[in-house]
Amino acid sequence: MIKHLRSAADLDADTATLILDTAAEMAALSGREVKKLPALRGRTVVNLFYEDSTRTRISFEAAAKRLSADVINFSAKGSSVSKGESLKDTALTLQAMGADAVVIRHSASGAPHRLANWVEGSVVNAGDGTHEHPTQALLDAYTMRSRLGRLDGLKVAIVGDVLHSRVARSNILLLSTLGARVTVVGPPTLIPLDLTDKAQVSYDLDAVLPDSDVVMMLRVQTERMQDSYFPSAREYSRRYGLDVPRLRKLPEHAIVMHPGPMNRGMEIAPEVADSPRSTIVEQVANGVSVRMAVLYLLLGGK
Amino acid sequence: MAYLLKGVSILGASPTDLYIADGVISDKPVDGAEVIDAAGLVALPGLVDVHTHLREPGREDAETVDTGSRAAALGGYTAVCAMANTSPVADTAGVVEQVWRLGREAGLVDVQPIGAVTVGLAGKQMAELGAMATSAANVRIFSDDGFCVADPKLMRRALEYVKAFDGVIAQHAEEPRLTEGAQMHEGEVSTRLGLTGWPAVAEEAIIARDVLLAEHVGSRLHVCHVSTAGSVEVLRQAKARGVRVTAEVTPHHLLLTDELAAGYDPVFKVNPPLRTRKDVEALRRALLDGVIDVVATDHAPHAVQDKECEWSYARPGMLGLETALPIVLSVFGPQWDLIADRMSIAPARIAGLDGHGGDLTKAGTPANLTLVDPSVQRVVDPAELASRSRNTPYAGMTLPGRIVATFLRGEATVLDGKAVK
């Protein structure tokens, strides 16, 4: 088993599949009255969050607690440069406290890679800047697999601000490892110039929808408007938002995903978000199972 | 002190005896000269760096004029031009004279201050360039290095203004709007790593504008740390038209690529950023064919805490003085005439440093020179560097060439590979 999960590139197909299979076993637990496993009793998992993200933090917290780990929440808001101690000093502190795993969310890309140099335990990337969010990709893959029965050969459209999206980066890597075919869609300003050959690029959402099994909408921050990535929220929504007429262009079986939090009315219409096609709430539930599987396997749970 | 360099090879020529007396090269034997067995050693005119950050005043925890001078002498340098981005900024006669005086006191290399183009490097108001030129520091190169003089009108005025005292503007070519938040070269690697890209065009657009401005007003322009293949083409065309432009390339841009960012170790973070293999190849060819005139180190010491952090928070820059010649040797091999020109003669000419980059075969030439043993291979060990900082990207690399001795106006600053003071 790998020691750290810093990037979806750390996962080969076998490892990723093992995580998804393990997550399915974990999910079976949540139907029981007692949801707890003793697997990580006596182990310490630190949630080191430099960015506010209640949903991701409680998802990891729930995952660790269901495995009986001791959980320490370390909220280190604000940059390590402007105030407070450096990431390295924080790492040494966590090391001294005997952290077996550190789950890190940070606004700087690559912070988990730096952290892994300074702690002996496992490092799990819970989102780093505009780099990656590998457990999100795993829960997305898990959701696709449980809804559609497979990943190999699936056609997945990832729509929106790919340039700044850590969710998109991790999904492109993981989905291509697992045999899915990814097309990224968005205005050219929000698609990186030198995208990997692991994904196709399209600027035309309407053309891509009829041939998609999955359409994953990314959150688009309205701040991007001020920086001239697109002229207005209205124009963005008109060209790249998923509304009801566009939903009808999808094949019958296709699902709609969103990593949340959503801008209803911007990249996704409320009727679409709440439709039976949408897996948005399911994704949240699957997040706990997948993160249980990751912690269990990284920490060699038994 | 007089010296006899016995059996030395001047620029790779047949072994000869070289006498140094009264601060100059002598063509006659000198009684009582200290004999240095220089068999197998190559004599080069003392290296001249037109782009060094010595950090004093302001960041003496990263480097001082004294420690930087020692690093320079050990690297074979006899003169370095100290960049203006100190704290306070070297934008007045007072600060440039302070740096110049500190250099004299250290006494290991000639420290030639560079003056800021604009007050506080803020890019708004021209600094008192004339006062710096006529100060004891005798400033001739002006640069806002670290920042680009982005305002085209201000750049035009600066280019024109320094003509009165034969000055030159050394431009850090970086279009600021195109590089907001930039962390590394924009390309496949930056996309993969999720680091904001620094596009090549942000450098090329400014160089293109500046060569046109220099041509228009008939001024000299020097371009700092050229890093892209596109910049080379802009410079090639400008030089072909007769524009008075010179350019430098750093050792790291001649050797390293953006792939090194993959581990997020900020020791590889530098501005302009490491580029692609294609850019490295173009820069090498440009240095060979003279489109790029000089190798300059952009020696940029940083304290440990400014590098042992997240990539985005780290300061850009790498050490260079002690490894520049070995890197150039490793890239180009023992092309001694080329090395002497690009690392000594041409930089001395650009900086207006008389007495440096002289002809070592001529009696009376100021004895600014360095002796290199090209047969030695050395592993770079950060702990052994004389710089106060440790941010070398070459740690663990094996590089050819050892600086055995350096002489500044006939006095040894380095002997047996060690600084004399």
Q: What is the pLDDT of residues A178-235, one digit of tens each?
A: 999 999 999 999 999 888 889 999 999 999 999 999 999 999 987 787 888 999 999 9
Work out the pLDDT band at A78, boundaries 50, 70, 90: low
Chain A contact for B191, CB < 8 A?
yes
Q: Are residues A266 and A255 in the same domain?
A: yes
Neighbouring residues of A285: CB distance < 8 A, sequence distance ≥ 6: A30
Dist. CA A137–CA A57, nearest whole Å: 16
Residue type, A113: H
A contacts of B275 (beta carbons < 8 Å) = none
- Cβ-based burial of B125 (10 A; exposed 0-12, middle 13-18, buried ≥19): exposed
A25: in domain: yes
pLDDT for the residue numbered B158: 98
Find out whether A64 and A72 touch, Cβ atoms under 8 Å. no
- B322 DSSP assignment: T
A87 vs B309: CB contact, 8 Å cut-off?
A: yes
Instruction: Report A:141-180 residues touching B (Cβ under 8 A).
Output: 166, 169
Across B183-231, the runs of DSSP E, i.e. the strands, are 184-185, 197-198, 221-223
Average pLDDT for A12-22: 98
Q: What's the structural domain count of chain A? A: 2
A133: nearest CA in chain B?
B194
Select from A236, A42, A180, A86 the least CA-distant residue to B309: A86
Average pLDDT, chain A: 93
Domain annotation covers residue A18: yes
Weakest-pLDDT range from A28-37, A59-68, B21-30: A28-37
Q: Which residues contact B112 (CB under 8 A, 6 or more apart)?
A: B79, B80, B81, B82, B100, B103, B137, B138, B139, B140, B141, B351, B353
Rounded distance, CA B395 to CA A21, Å? 43
Alpha carbon distance A182, A38 (integer Å): 38
Confirm whether A15 is domain-assigned. Answer: yes
Closest residue in chain A to residue B306, using alpha carbons only: A81
Shortest alpha-carbon distance between residue A69 and chain B (Å): 28
Q: Does A80 lie at the interface with B, CB-CB under 8 angstroms?
A: yes
Q: What is the gyration radius of the CA atoms in chain B, in angstroms?
A: 20
In this structure, the answer to whether residues A81 and A117 fall within a common structural domain is: yes
Interface check for B379 against chain A (CB to CB < 8 A): the answer is no
Strands (E), A64-194: 70-75, 101-106, 122-128, 155-159, 181-185
Residues A85 and A165 in one domain: no
Q: Is residue A51 part of a domain?
A: yes
Domain boundary assignment for chain B: 46-354
Domain membership of residue A127 (yes or no) is yes
Chain A, residues 179-218, CB within 8 A of chain B, namely 192-196
pLDDT of residue A74: 86
Residue A2 is assigned to a structural domain of this protein: no
Residue pLDDT, tens place only, B185-206: 999 999 999 999 999 999 999 9
Check if the beta carbon of residue B290 is closer than 8 Å to that of residue B298: no
At A115 the pLDDT is 97
Give the C-alpha separation, B421 to B106, whole Å.
9
Catalytic residue IDs of B: 298
- Is A109 within 8 Å of B264 when comparing Cβ atoms? yes
In chain A, % helix, strand, coil (3-state, to 5) comes to 40, 15, 40
List chain B residues with pLDDT less than 50: none
A170, closest residue in chain B (CA to CA): B192
A279 and A177, same structural domain?
yes
Question: What's the CATH number where A205 sits?
Answer: 3.40.50.1370
CA distance B170 to chain A (A): 31
B114 DSSP 8-state letter:
P
d(CA B181, CA B174): 12
A182: domain range? 134-283
User: Are residues A141 and A244 located together in one domain of the fold?
Assistant: yes
pLDDT in tens, A102-146: 999 999 999 999 999 999 999 999 999 999 999 999 999 999 999
**A232 touching B, CB under 8 A?**
no
Shortest Cα–Cα distance, A56 to chain B (Å): 20
A113 Cβ under 8 Å from any chain B Cβ: yes
Chain A residues whose beta carbon lies within 8 Å of the beta carbon of residue B187: 193-194
B194 shares contact with chain A (CB less than 8 Å): yes
Residue A82: predicted pLDDT: 47
Nearest CB to A87 within list B183, B188, B310: B310
For residues A140 and A275, membership in a common domain is answered with yes
Q: Is the CB of B309 inside 8 Å of chain A's CB atoms?
A: yes
ipTM of this complex: 0.93
- Option in B186, B188, B194 nearest A131 (CB): B194
Q: Do residue B195 and residue A196 have CB atoms under 8 angstroms apart?
A: no
A226–B contact, CB cutoff 8 A: no
**CB pairs below 8 Å between A and B: how many?**
68
Q: Give the separation between CA A91 and CA A82, rounded to whole angstroms.
A: 17
Judge if A171 and A76 occupy the same domain: no
d(CA A295, CA A273): 30
Is the CATH number of domain B46-354 3.20.20.140?
Answer: yes
Task: Give CA separation, A164 vs A129, A154, A218, B56, in Å.
Answer: 8, 24, 10, 39
Asked if pLDDT for residue A81 goes beyond 50, the answer is no
Q: What is the pLDDT of residue A280?
A: 93
State the binding site of A for L-aspartate. 83, 166, 219
Contact A130 B194 (CB under 8 A): yes
Number of H helices, E strands in chain B: 12, 19
Q: Which pLDDT does position A301 carry in this prediction?
A: 59
- Residue A3 domain-assigned (yes or no): no
Domain identity same for A160 and A264:
yes
Residue A1 lies in a domain: no
Q: Is the pLDDT of residue A149 over 90?
A: yes
Higher-pLDDT residue of A214, A300: A214
Inter-chain residue contact A128 with B194, CB threshold 8 Å: yes
B217 touches chain A (CB under 8 A): no
Phi/psi region, residue A110 (left: phi>0; alpha: psi -120 to 50; beta: rest), is left
CA gap B41, B37 in Å, rounded: 9
Domain match, A158 and A194 both: yes
